[in-house]
Amino acid sequence: MLLDKQAQADLAAAITEQEKRTDAELVTVLAGQADDYRYITTLWAALLSLLVPAALLFIPHWLTSLEALMLQWGVLLMLAVLFRFKAIQFRLVPRSLQRQRAASLARSAFLEQGLHHTRGDTGLLIFVSEAEHYVEILADQGIARHVDDSQWQAIVDAFVAKVKAGQVAEGFQQCVAACGDKLAAHVPATTAKNELPNHLVIL
């Protein structure tokens, strides 16, 4: 659990307070990891296991063909398991792919949480994928027409720094407060409403 029950409750309370200042609907989503990347780590294991026959050429032929094949399979299985450890896994997966998978999950979450169906199109998603150190703020068109995407970047950068430092709960709190200030200035509250739940959504 990246955020304990108290941290989740504090975050929900912070969202409730900020939504009193704006017509926007804030939803926070936290994913531990955007993808398991098993296909990438398995591919690396398979490619490296192909080096076994080449390595055997440089040592005395004390293995039979069957034994050499079994050794190759053993290396494949060992590497496949070893590469599942996150410390190794994320060194093998290209950063561009990590960002692509996290961005895709963020957009899926935006739709699944109904942020595109709010009154006035004022849904705002704060999405975090912890393993990828990925943060994105997605705003529906009712907000986007007043606040350009580039204006969220400083908030995102500050949150990413917190995620990298392992301070996800503090990062969420600061991000919600910063988003609330911007939304209160550009999309101020005109009516009391709460169309979407304020609790943290954990994927």
β-sheet bridge partners, residue 31: 129
Q: What domains, with CATH codes, occur in the chain?
A: 5-35+95-202 (3.10.310.50), 38-92 (no CATH)
- The region, left, alpha or beta by phi > 0 then psi within -120 to 50, assigned to residue 133 is left
C-alpha Rg value of the chain to the nearest Å: 23
Closest CA relative to residue 125, chosen from 112, 133, 16:
112
In the chain, where do the E strands start and end?
25-31, 123-129, 134-139, 201-202
Q: How many C-alpha atoms does 174 have within 13 Å on its Cβ side?
A: 16
What DSSP character marks residue 24?
A: -
Does this model's pTM top 0.85?
no
Q: pLDDT (tens digit, 9 = 90+) per residue, 88-138?
A: 878 888 889 989 999 999 999 999 998 888 888 899 999 999 889 999 999
Residue 61 pLDDT grade (very low, low, confident, very high; cuts 50, 70, 90): low
- Alpha-carbon gap, residue 169 to 162, rounded angstroms: 9
